[in-house]
Amino acid sequence: MSRTTRATQALTKAGIVHDLHAYIYDPGAERVGIQAAEALGEDPARVLKTLMIEIDGKPACAVIPSDRELSMKRAAAAFGGKSAQMMKPADAERLTGYHVGGISPFGQRRTVPVAIEAAAMEQALVYINGGQRGLQVRLAPKDAAGVLRAIVAPLVG
């Protein structure tokens, strides 16, 4: 496993303090984010999952705790749209340049608007996918929001 990805390069280039945490990725896991939290021995509220969505047909990214479900109504509202839906996995991979299970909001092939769940900002440190299956970056949520120019809003139901 490479510890250098477009995500880690983007964080390093931006001067964001982070550290890397590798774990054994289980492609058969029912909920990949929960599996990552368990493998890392972390509270699922601190291990965030990256979801590629479409707001009124336009790509966007939502970052939420791995134990929660995205509210499409709240996601649409956060981005100032009327409707939201999950992006098809093949479209997400093509847009981001990452494989499903390894999609990071950092260093995506194409920059899209990002929103982070407001409750995640209460954590001292969070884990976010590092751009590869089985690799997480740990960093301050305010640093993640800043480098992503993310909207911070309630996104979960």
Position of tokens 């931006």?
A: 14
Q: What is the pTM of this model?
A: 0.95
Residue 1: its pLDDT value, please? 59
pLDDT tens, residue by residue, 102-125: 999 999 999 999 999 999 999 999
Q: Specify the DSSP element, H or E, that contains 139.
A: strand 135-139
Give exposure, 95-113, as e/b (b: 16+ Cβ within 10 Å).
Answer: bbebeebbbbbbbbeeebb
* End-to-end CA gap in the chain: 35
CB 38 within 8 A of CB 73: no
CB 23 within 8 A of CB 38: no
Residue 33: its pLDDT value, please? 87
- Segments of the chain with pLDDT less than 70: 1-2
The domain made up of 6-153 has a fold known as YbaK protein (3.90.960)
Q: Among 10, 24, 45, which Cα is nearest to 127's?
A: 45
Q: Among 16, 23, 44, 12, which Cα is nearest to 102's?
A: 23
